[in-house]
Each structure stands twice: as structure tokens, then as C-alpha cells.
């Protein structure tokens, strides 16, 4: 009886020992199948869910981007303040605010007694000048023939030259206020003066009313030629050295935030604004756009220092701490994982061979289906150094060289990193 009990105890101990050895072997197998560090493996469903895209490095022209703002302006030659030159009362106004006008077009009519006085004075001088000219010619002839006195000749010459100068001065004044000296000499006197537009453009401001008195220094109208409008940007001191004539600026206008326009730099200011430490740069607008008005606020960015370099889309790059990474396809990691799984299967399932044989018909079908629906791909995280960024792309500097046709994940890099971190966390637990 004691002998039988002793044999039973030895048998139980042996079974426990075998069970412990099997458990230890299984743990070692599981450890061997742990994911490779820095590698994430996705099945077909995961790839489709992320809309995963693969591609290669792209060579692109990237530039340094300088942000800027400013407003639309017209050159001094395309903007005019219209004055009366000689004051008068407003008799009529011939235009409305916003009207398009041509050079020489009538804007308003002024009237004042001073206009009549000026014309009378001119007419008197014109008539007197004719007499003084004839008297001067007569005295000159007598003096040259030693018949007349030199004193009479000098007096006639002086009076003639004085009248001639006064005639020229009055004539110029009349022409400045758009009165015809020729008509006045014919005796046609006008009690009104026409105010004409000095340029082609649009009437931006009207500062007079009918019946009001307009002084010579008052601005009656403001006329602007918007066809010559250009972009006036402000560039701060730290970026001035990057700007050159001929560069392109992309910008938007405040009332058209969704429409991007372009302009080409044609002039750069040579002095800083006192308060902002910025200089003005002037750029011609490349598109023909209606509705642009001087003074509109604009915001844009300037592309400088063009550089042909290796790039990837921004979504292909992920940052962790101070380092940047990309993901590349790694077939070797996938093959290594597959081999590990096969080895584990050979060592761990020999005792279950009969059970698998009995279920070959069913399990074989399931495995084939799983293989078709779970085409796995492995991606390895690679550290890179990033450079310039422009238009959705980033410059890439490789720390370690990669094969020429390396497949790079072009999007969803952030999600790949998150998935990899999740696997590492689960493994740690």
C-alpha cells in the first residue's frame, strides 16, 4: 500500500514539472514573437481604413516664405486733388461720387466777379500792347536813323516790354482756369469758370456743395486712376535682405479672402518707417481684377531663396520631442515576423498534429480566407532632419542613406506612430 502511494506522488510531481516546462517554453515562444522595435505592421483592413499611400522622395523647388501685409495704392501720377486755383462760388456740380471720368471732363462750374475783372484786365492789356508795340517800332526806327531821341526810344521800349510781360502773365492765369484768351481778345467775357478733371479715373470724393464758396486752396474733388493700382507691402527689418525685384508675392484682399492674387515686386523702399522698422515694397498686380480700390487692406507671403531639394508631404512626417521621423516599407521585418511565426508553430503544435489533421477541411479554408483579407505590410520608423517648408511639402535630410526606390508612407504618419506606441505599451504590460 505504501509503495502505491509513493508511486502516485512521483507521478504527480512529474506531471507538474512537465507542465511547468511547457509553460516556460510557451512564454519563450511568445517573447520571440514580440514586434520588432520601431516597426509597425498593418493588415489590409487597417491600410484601407487609413487610406494609406506609398510613394518616393520628390525633388521640388522650395523657398523661404516671408509673411507680409499692407494695402493697395496708386502711384502719385494716378491720383489727383482738384482745386479751383482762383476761388469762386459753386454754380453747378456735374459728377457723382464714383463716376468714371476722362481727362478734361467737366466736373463743376464756378462763378465770381473776380473772373470778370481778370478778363477785363487782360483785354485792356492786350489792346494797349498793340499800341505800345507800334510805338516801340516807330521810336526804334527814328533812333536808328538818328532822328529821334534816345530817351524816347528807351521809354517806348520799356513800356512795351512791361505790357508784353503783363499780357503773358494774365494769359497764363486765364489758361489755368480754363478761360480762352483768344475769345477774350474778341470781346467775349465769361462770368463762370469750368473745373476739369486733370486725369482719367474715378471720382473718389466731392467736397463742395452748390452755392458754397470754394477757396483757391480747397480740394474740390479727388480723382483716382485705379487701373494703375498696385500692392504696397511692408517688410520688416529682419527679412529685408531676402527681398529682390522681380520676386512674386501671393496675397489676398480683405474683401476677397478666398481669392489669391499674385504681384511682382518692382520697387523696394530705401528707408525704414520710424515706428515699425519696416520698409515699403511695391508690386504690380499680375491679374486683371475689377473692384480693387486704393486703401484696401492686403495680406500675403513672399517666396525667396528658391532651392531644389528632396521633399515629402507634410503628412508623411511625424515629430516626437525634438526629433522628426518618417515611415518606410520594410519587407525584411515582415519576413522575419513570418519566419518566427512558422518556427513557433512547428515547435509548439506537434502534440496537436492529430487535432489539426481532423479539422483540415474547415481550418484550411479559414486560413486561406484570412491570408487574402489580411495582406500585411511592415513599416519601419526612420529618423530624418527636416528643413524648409512650402506649399504642403517639407525638405528632408537623411541621417542614414536609403535605397533609391524606397517606398515611403506619404500620409498618416501620425497614426502609424500612435499604433506603434500602442503595441509597445501592450507589450510592456
* Cell (9 digits) for 159: 513800356
In a domain, 177, yes or no: yes
- Domain co-membership, 267 together with 174: no
- At CA 353, angle to CA 350 and CA 358, rounded to 5? 170
Rounded Cα distance, 353 and 367, in Å:
16
- Domain co-membership, 117 together with 243: no
In our burial notation (b when 16+ CB lie closer than 10 A, e otherwise), range 185-221 reads eeeeebebbebbbebbbbbbebebeeeeebeeeeebb
* Cell (9 digits) for 360: 483540415
In a domain, 4, yes or no: no
- Domain co-membership, 303 together with 389: no
Helix, strand, coil shares of the chain, percent, nearest 5, are 40, 35, 25
In a domain, 13, yes or no: no
In contact, 422 and 327? CB cutoff 8 Å: no
What's the full length of the chain, in residues?
429
- Domain co-membership, 239 together with 299: yes
- Domain co-membership, 111 together with 53: no
The pLDDT score that the predictor gives to residue 208 is 92
pLDDT along the chain (429 residues), means of 10: 40 41 43 60 87 89 82 90 92 93 94 92 90 84 73 85 92 91 90 93 92 92 90 89 88 85 90 84 88 87 79 91 91 68 52 43 41 71 88 88 90 86 64
The pLDDT score that the predictor gives to residue 166 is 92
In a domain, 368, yes or no: yes
In a domain, 80, yes or no: no
Domain count, the chain: 3
- Domain co-membership, 45 together with 138: no
- Domain co-membership, 169 together with 256: no
In a domain, 320, yes or no: yes
Which phi and psi (to 5°) does residue 41 adopt? -115, 130
Entry pTM? 0.54
- Domain co-membership, 234 together with 215: no
- At CA 42, angle to CA 39 and CA 43, rounded to 5? 150
- Domain co-membership, 389 together with 408: yes
- Domain co-membership, 135 together with 184: yes
In a domain, 288, yes or no: yes
Q: What is the domain range of residue 343?
A: 33-60+311-351+364-428
In contact, 123 and 184? CB cutoff 8 Å: yes
- Domain co-membership, 129 together with 177: yes
List, for residues 173-187, the tens digit of each pLDDT value: 999 999 999 999 888
- Domain co-membership, 163 together with 175: yes
CATH code: domain of residue 257? 2.40.30.170
The pLDDT score that the predictor gives to residue 37 is 67
In a domain, 359, yes or no: no
If we measure between CA atoms, which residue out of 115, 85, 77, 118 comes closest to residue 196? Answer: 85
Amino acid at each position: 500500500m505504501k509503495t502505491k502511494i509513493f508511486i502516485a506522488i512521483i507521478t504527480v510531481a512529474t506531471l507538474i514539472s512537465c507542465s511547468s516546462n511547457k509553460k516556460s517554453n510557451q512564454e519563450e515562444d511568445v517573447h520571440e514573437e514580440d514586434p520588432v522595435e520601431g516597426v509597425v505592421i498593418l493588415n489590409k483592413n487597417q491600410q484601407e481604413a487609413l487610406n494609406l499611400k506609398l510613394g518616393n522622395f520628390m525633388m521640388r523647388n522650395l523657398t523661404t516664405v516671408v509673411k507680409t501685409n499692407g494695402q493697395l495704392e496708386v502711384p502719385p501720377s494716378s491720383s489727383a486733388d482738384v482745386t479751383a486755383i482762383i476761388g469762386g462760388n459753386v454754380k453747378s456740380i456735374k459728377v457723382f461720387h464714383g463716376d468714371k471720368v476722362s481727362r478734361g471732363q467737366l466736373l463743376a462750374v464756378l462763378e465770381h466777379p473776380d473772373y470778370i475783372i481778370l478778363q477785363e484786365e487782360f483785354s485792356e492789356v492786350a489792346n494797349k500792347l498793340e499800341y505800345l508795340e507800334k510805338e516801340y517800332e516807330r521810336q526804334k526806327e527814328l533812333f536808328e536813323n538818328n532822328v529821334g531821341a534816345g530817351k524816347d526810344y528807351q521809354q517806348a521800349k520799356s513800356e512795351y516790354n512791361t505790357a508784353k510781360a503783363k499780357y503773358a502773365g494774365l494769359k497764363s492765369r486765364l489758361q489755368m482756369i480754363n478761360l480762352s484768351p483768344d475769345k477774350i481778345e474778341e470781346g467775349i467775357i465769361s462770368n463762370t469758370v469750368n473745373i476739369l478733371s486733370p486725369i482719367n479715373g474715378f471720382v473718389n470724393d466731392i467736397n463742395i456743395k452748390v452755392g458754397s464758396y470754394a477757396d483757391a486752396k480747397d480740394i474740390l474733388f479727388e480723382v483716382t486712376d485705379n487701373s494703375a493700382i498696385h500692392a504696397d507691402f511692408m517688410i520688416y527689418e529682419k527679412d529685408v535682405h531676402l527681398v529682390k525685384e522681380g520676386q512674386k508675392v501671393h496675397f489676398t484682399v480683405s474683401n476677397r479672402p478666398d481669392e489669391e492674387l499674385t504681384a511682382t515686386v518692382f520697387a523696394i523702399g530705401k528707408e525704414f518707417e520710424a515706428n515699425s522698422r519696416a520698409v515699403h515694397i511695391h508690386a504690380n498686380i499680375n491679374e486683371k481684377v475689377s473692384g480693387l480700390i486704393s486703401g484696401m487692406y492686403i495680406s500675403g507671403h513672399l517666396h525667396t531663396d528658391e532651392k531644389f531639394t528632396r521633399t515629402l508631404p507634410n503628412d508623411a512626417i511625424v515629430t516626437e520631442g525634438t526629433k522628426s521621423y518618417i515611415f518606410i516599407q520594410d519587407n525584411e521585418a515582415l519576413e522575419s515576423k513570418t519566419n518566427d511565426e512558422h518556427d513557433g508553430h512547428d515547435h509548439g503544435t506537434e502534440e496537436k498534429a492529430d487535432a489539426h489533421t481532423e479539422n483540415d477541411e474547415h481550418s484550411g479554408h479559414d486560413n486561406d480566407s484570412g491570408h487574402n483579407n489580411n495582406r500585411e505590410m511592415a513599416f519601419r520608423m526612420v529618423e530624418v532632419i527636416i528643413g524648409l517648408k512650402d506649399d504642403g511639402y517639407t525638405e528632408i535630410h537623411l541621417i542614414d542613406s536609403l535605397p533609391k526606390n524606397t517606398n515611403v508612407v506619404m500620409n498618416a504618419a501620425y497614426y502609424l506612430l500612435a499604433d506603434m506606441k500602442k503595441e509597445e505599451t501592450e507589450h510592456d504590460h
